[in-house]
A = this chain, B = another copy of it.
């Protein structure tokens, strides 16, 4: 099996982006809130601002969120395309993983 296969690599990248409690929390926060400044998120998490910024970068790199600079602040929100990809990926994987174990 080819481990550089696009769909496998992409799936792993998305899964890895979800692979930290802080990043899952950030996604949930962004899903609940309309306003989504970096500072808002930092207030809600027990992490330093720089650490939150790092996690935001990871989520952005994975294509799961967007960040739009507006004045002094940056407004973050979910990236619809990325979330769609996440969903289809998970459902595809889910259907592939039929239990063959007895």
Please report A residues at the B interface, Cβ cutoff 8 Å.
Answer: 1, 3-5, 8-9, 11-13, 15-25, 27-31, 33-34, 44-47, 66, 77-80, 83, 86-87, 90-91, 93-94, 96-101
Contacts and interface: CB of A to CB of B under 8 A. Distances in A.
Given A9-B21, A20-B12, A31 B1 contact: no
A3 B45 contact: yes
Give this chain's copy count. Answer: 2
Contacts of A12: 18-21, 23-24
Instruction: Tell me if A's interface is mostly helix, strand, loop or mixed.
Output: helix
Nearest to A23: B12
B24 A19 contact: no
Nearest to A79: B101
B80 A101 contact: yes
Given A15-B24, A16-B16, A19-B19, A33 B100 contact: yes
B4 A93 contact: no
